[in-house]
Structure formats: C-alpha cells, structure tokens
Structure 1
C-alpha cells in the first residue's frame, strides 16, 4: 500500500520525479564514480519527508534498528548486500560478532537483532551475539513474540582481539550507537574489523556535521540535474553551549531560529508555497526521537514550559544536551488511512535493500513521528528500487516514487561517507 500525497503543492516534486527518472543513467553513473572515491557506511537508514514541494532527508542513522520491520520479501536483497559488504571488508570471514544495544528486554528491538542475525547467517557467516552489559555474565536467552529466541553472551577481551568463549570473529558489527560513550573493551582492536567505526557513534558524531556534508552532496547532485539544491536539502544552523534546564545559551537558539525561519520564508515565497514554515530544534547528538522540539516562531522559545525544557535537556542513556541543531522543518503530506506517514529507507553497503513507512495517527505534519504510538507499514522496495518506469505520469507510479526515495536516501548515505572521512581521528591530514 502506498500512502497518498495530500497536497495541491506537488508540482515541484512531480517535476523532480520526472527529472530524476529521465536522468537515471547519469545518476547511477554519478553514484558509481562517487563510490569509487568514498567508502559507504556498512549499513544505514534514512528518514525522509515528502512535502509535495520538497523531498529531503531529516535524519540518517548509522546503527539502524528496525530491520524486523522489513518484509521477508526484502531478505534476498539484504543478504546479497551483506555478502558484498563482507567480501569487501574481510573476504575470508567466517565468524561475525554482533553487539546489540544494552536494553535487551525490549522485544521489538530484539526482533531487529534476530533479523540481523538471520541476514548474516544467510550470507554464510557464523553469527553470535555479545553484550556490552556488565550484568551479562553468562549466556542469556530471550524469547521473542514470534517464537524465535536470541542468546547474548559476555564479551571476552584479549590484548588486541574481542570475542566470546570459543568464538574468535574476523568482524565485529555494532548495533549499539554508543550514546553512553565508547567502552574501553572496544578500543584498540587493531587485528579485527569494527563496523561501523567508533567515531560513527553518538559519543563523537554530530548531526550538524552530517548535514554539512549532505549540503555538499546535494549541491553536487543538483548541479548534475540542473535544479535547485533546496528541493532536496533542509537548511540548518547549530548552537553550542546550550542548557535548556538552566535556560542558558537560548539567545543563540532564538537568533538562529529567527534567521532560519526568514530564509525558509524567502524560499516559500520564491516557490509560491502558502504553508507556514517551521524549524525543528533537536539535540546535535543522539537518537530515539528524544530531545526534539517544533518551533514556528522564535517568540515561542520565551514560553517553553519547564517540562519541555527538561525534555530538551537529556537524550538517550541520560546524556545531557549541550549542542543543538536548528533544522528547517519539512512537513510530510503523505497519509496512510488518514494518519501522517514518512518513508524510512534501509541500505547495506551502497545498496537500497528495503524500507517502511513510519505512520503516526496522533502526530501532525510538522511533528516528529519517531514517538510512542507510531507503527510501520512496509515499503514495496522488493520489486522496485532499481526498476523505475520512464514515461509514466509523475506521481502515478509507486516504483518511480520509491526510486526517487532511494536516490535521496543514497545521497544521505554518501553524505555519511563524507562525514565519517572528515571526522576520522586516524585519517592522515595533508596541508
């Protein structure tokens, strides 16, 4: 089922779709050339918003959960991509150590871990699960709602390697975003591949760095297609030294909210868009839909309730928020059964392997949908991400829309590649 676009303002997106479909050979060649120069993240998911007049990524996750929300029909694509990714990194690999998040009693998350285990097992690897939780001192089994189960085991660290009892892996795959910091047990693994790298975790990573890289990628892509980069790029700014609980540094947030709203208004005027612009203020690090606020006028920041200030002060694992990104809000005008929806695209290596719609009946077009009460509807990528239909009227073909989503998601993945290169602490710097 494909959500319908509830807006009359779909002219620019229909034009963008037509341009992307017509330019498919040039786009695929451009991506191939980029991947010759840059290494894709091991796996990625991207939240996309379709406003009808603009299509843009609003978040890029380098430790994606939610693999269980992909349909079984998408498994062959994921397995094939997993094989390609592993062959590139460690062709002789036979053992893979998968390290999940610590909140191991969340059965939805554990089902995601089980799906990852399945994907890499079908790719021909022995997969076992190791826990960063110091309380896991013996193999511990968790039953899943579908009757499956997973067993996590305590990690064993030698001087240069990480493994489990009677299990020495070539590759260590993190499905833990390191929000709480980088554990010593993961440092200094010089003889094993650790994926994604430590600086991809939220202990180091910043969203503003990612969207700086995305802006660069979007401009290159827009030049290739002869279009306005704003149609696929959310404007943003950032503020450091912010403390919402103590109301410190909020002058910077107010000034940047005001300036960004002014820029968006000018673009709306240029395109004849009558929507009221808004911005999203969110923690520059962290995930799980925490530390996020919608602002339509800078004056609203003077009236923020204590509850909201407290909500903005802390993200996952109790980490305090001291830096925020102020991002142009991209409304979503997609609906599924009258509920607001947004696509989330999943990739492994450089391949789109599937995705789903995040649907929330109680949220508005200008609100974060990654919140309690959301549910998921599969995207029909299994048959269509690389099979667009040229010549079909824009907006009328699900494969064409999915292909367009896949292109924007790959742009965000490429931006993540740029971002990881720029922030790599081990990279050689040349003057």
Structure 2
C-alpha cells in the first residue's frame, strides 16, 4: 500500500527525491566511506515525517521493538544483514542470548521477539531468551497469539560471563532499552559482546546528543548534494532542569520554545510555507511515545493543566522527567485511508531491511502518532526499495520514495554511530 500525499505540498520533496535518485552512486559511495570510519549500531529504527516541504527523522530507536510489523518478504534481507553483522563482530558465534523487555506479557511485543528469534536462527545461531525479571526463577513458557510459545529463562552470571543454565553465548543482544537503569548483571562483561552497548540504553543516552550528531551528518550530506540541510534536519534545543509537577524550569522551556518557533518562522518565510509552525516538547530520554506534547505558542506553557503536567512528568518504567528536548515540529502529510501516517524505517547493521507506516486515525498532522490507537501498515516492498527507478516521475514510484526514506533512515543511523562513539565511556581519549 502506498500512502496518499497531499499533492499541493509535495514540490520540494519531489525535488529532493529527484536529487537523491540522480546522486545515487555518489550517495552510496559516501555511505561506504563513512562506514569505513564508523561502526553502525547493531540494529535501529527511525521514525520519519514527510511534510512535503521537508523530510526529517524525529526519533531514532536503538532497541527496535516492531520487527513483527515487517512483512515476510522482508525477512531474507533481515537474515542477510544479520549474517553480515554477526560475521563482523564474532565470526565464530554459535550461541546468541537475547534479552527482551521485562513486560513479557504484551503479545505484540512478544511477536516482535519471536520474529527476532526467527531472523537469528535463520542466520545460523542457537538463540535463547534470558530475562532481567528477577521474579522468574525457572524457564517460563509464554503463549503467543498464533498458538506458538516462547521460553524465557533466568540469567546466570559468573565473574566475567553471562548466560543461561547450560548455555554460554558469545554474543548478548539486548532488546530492552534500559529505561529503568543499568542492571548490575550486565556490567563488566569483558569476554562477551553486548549489543547494543550499555551506553545506548536510555539510562545514559540523550536525544539531544543524537540530534546534535544528526545535524553534523545532515550538513555533510547536504554539502554532497548541494542543498540546504534544513530540508532533512529538525532544529532543536534542550532544557536540563525541568519539573513539570512543581512548575520549575518552565522559564527555560518558554524561552527556548519561543526562540525555536522564531527560527522556524524565518525558514518558513524563506521557503514561502504558509503553515503555522509548532514544536514538540519531549523527554530527552525514553521512548514508547510517553512524555510528549505539541506546543504552538510559548504562552501555552504558562497554563498547563494537571493532566498535561502528569503526562509530561513520568515516562516508561516510572522514570521522572527532568530533561527535555524541544524539537522543530515536522507535520506529516502522508495519509492511509484518510488517517494520518508516518514511515518507520528498520535497519540491521548498515542495511535497510524494511519498514512500515505508523497510522493513527485520531491524531492530527502535528501530533505524536506513537500512542495507543496506532496501527501499522507494512511498506509495500513488492518492488524492492533497493532497486529504485531513477527515471520515474518523482512521487510516482514506491521504490523511489522508499529509497529516499532509506537514505534518511541511514543518515540517522550514521548519526547514532557518531553519538555512540562520542558517549562511549570506554573510548580512548587523546589530549
């Protein structure tokens, strides 16, 4: 299924698509050279917003939990990418320990875990599931909607290694974003590969660091294509000491919202965009669409009601919000059956392996779609996005549009690798 784009607004994006397709050899070479210098995250997913006048990533997840939303046709790509990733990290790998989220009763999430097991088994690994849930003391069977089952087992930690009873893995793959903090059981594993590394978890990671890195990547890429980086880069600011419950730090928030809205207005004027700008205020750490609000005027922040304050105060695993990122709002003009939609691109290693549309019938073009009521429509990969048609009319060919999404997704993934290098506590520093 291909989304419907409101055509009056598609001009600049069609030009961007055209430019990306014409520059395909240069783009692929540029990525190749970047990957010689930087290590891609093991896997990632990127939420994109297509405003017609701008296409930008708005979130990059390093513990993607929606592999079940990819179609069967996408699986061979995912298996090949996994093989390439494992070969690079631990060529002799035989056993893979997969550690999922603690909330193991969510059937949608478990179907994602099942899909990951399927991918890594097909890549030639013995895969077993270990849980950080300390209440699980013995192998526990979990039922899935299709009648199949998964077994999670308690972790067994020795001085230098982590495994399960009678299972010693070379590699440990986290599908748990560590919002609740860094578990002691995962620390000090010097003999095994832990992927992604601990500092990729939300206990340490900050969105503002990611978008700082993305700005750098977008500038390099825009220079390659001779274009304005703003067309692919959401501007942002951050506030470090905010307490929504007590109303503390709201002056920092207001002044930053005001300044960012003014910047966006200037850009809209430059491009003749008639929209009313907005910003998204969200927790600087964390995911699951929690702790997010749309702000159209800084004055709105003086009169936040109790419900909004409560919503903004706490994110996943009951973590309190004290740091926020203020991000340029990118409206989405994609529609599926009249419902607002946004593309999500999935990657393993440096390869795009598929994606889907997040669709929400009850949300507006300027709102967060990652919320209860969202549904998922797989991207139409009947024609592979790896094989765009450079001579097709812009906007007319699904593989061309998906190739463009894949390019922007890979830019965000490259930014994540810059970010992880910059925040690596074990990195050698030279004076």
Q: Which category of TM-score, normalised to the shorter sequence, fits these structures? A: over 0.9
Structure 2 CA distance for aligned equivalents of residues 413 and 382 of structure 1: 24
Contact 1:142 1:151 in 2 (8 A): yes
3-state secondary structure, aligned to 2:364: coil
Map 1:84-95 → 2, pairs under 5 A: 84-95=84-95
Structure 1 CA distance for aligned equivalents of residues 92 and 382 of structure 2: 29
Structure 1 CA distance for aligned equivalents of residues 422 and 120 of structure 2: 29
3-state secondary structure, aligned to 1:16: helix
3-state secondary structure, aligned to 1:204: coil
The answer for the alignment partner of 2:124 in structure 1 is 124
Tell me the alpha carbon deviations over residues 284-316 of structure 1, each in whole angstroms, 9 at most, x when there is no partner: 000000000000000110111111011101100
The answer for the alignment partner of 1:351 in structure 2 is 351
Map 1:57-206 → 2, pairs under 5 A: 57-206=57-206
TM superposition shift of 1:7: 4.3
3-state secondary structure, aligned to 1:142: strand
TM superposition shift of 1:392: 1.0
Tell me the alpha carbon deviations over residues 260-294 of structure 1, each in whole angstroms, 9 at most, x when there is no partner: 00000000000010011000000000000000000
Tell me the alpha carbon deviations over residues 344-375 of structure 1, each in whole angstroms, 9 at most, x when there is no partner: 00000000000000000000000000000000
The answer for the alignment partner of 1:223 in structure 2 is 223
TM norm structure 2: 0.99
TM superposition shift of 1:411: 0.1
Contact 1:354 1:382 in 2 (8 A): no
3-state secondary structure, aligned to 2:214: helix
3-state secondary structure, aligned to 1:172: strand
Structure 1 CA distance for aligned equivalents of residues 380 and 337 of structure 2: 17
The answer for the alignment partner of 1:17 in structure 2 is 17
Map 1:277-288 → 2, pairs under 5 A: 277-288=277-288
3-state secondary structure, aligned to 1:381: coil
TM superposition shift of 1:213: 0.1
The answer for the alignment partner of 2:3 in structure 1 is 3
Map 1:356-375 → 2, pairs under 5 A: 356-375=356-375
3-state secondary structure, aligned to 2:8: coil
* Cα separation, partners in 2 of 1:192 and 1:375, compared to 1, 3 Å: same
Structure 1 CA distance for aligned equivalents of residues 99 and 213 of structure 2: 28
Tell me the alpha carbon deviations over residues 154-206 of structure 1, each in whole angstroms, 9 at most, x when there is no partner: 00000000000000000000000000000000000000000000000000000
TM superposition shift of 1:382: 5.9
* Cα separation, partners in 2 of 1:21 and 1:408, compared to 1, 3 Å: same
Structure 1 CA distance for aligned equivalents of residues 382 and 158 of structure 2: 42
TM superposition shift of 1:381: 3.4
3-state secondary structure, aligned to 2:165: coil
Contact 2:18 2:394 in 1 (8 A): yes
Structure 2 CA distance for aligned equivalents of residues 339 and 9 of structure 1: 17
The answer for the alignment partner of 1:243 in structure 2 is 243
3-state secondary structure, aligned to 2:347: strand
Runs of 4+ with >6 A deviation: none
TM superposition shift of 1:377: 0.4
Tell me the alpha carbon deviations over residues 43-93 of structure 1, each in whole angstroms, 9 at most, x when there is no partner: 000000000000000000000001001011110000000000000000000
Structure 1 CA distance for aligned equivalents of residues 114 and 399 of structure 2: 29
Tell me the alpha carbon deviations over residues 199-239 of structure 1, each in whole angstroms, 9 at most, x when there is no partner: 00000000000000000000000000000000000000000
- Which runs of 5 or more residues in structure 2 are unaligned? none
TM superposition shift of 1:383: 3.6
Structure 2 CA distance for aligned equivalents of residues 199 and 428 of structure 1: 15
Q: What is the root-mean-square deviation in Å for CA atoms of aligned residues?
A: 0.6
Contact 2:182 2:198 in 1 (8 A): yes
Contact 1:173 1:196 in 2 (8 A): yes
Structure 1 CA distance for aligned equivalents of residues 359 and 200 of structure 2: 28
Instruction: Confirm or deny that 1:32 pairs with 2:62.
Output: no
TM superposition shift of 1:393: 1.0
Contact 1:353 1:381 in 2 (8 A): no
The answer for the alignment partner of 1:336 in structure 2 is 336
Contact 1:353 1:382 in 2 (8 A): no
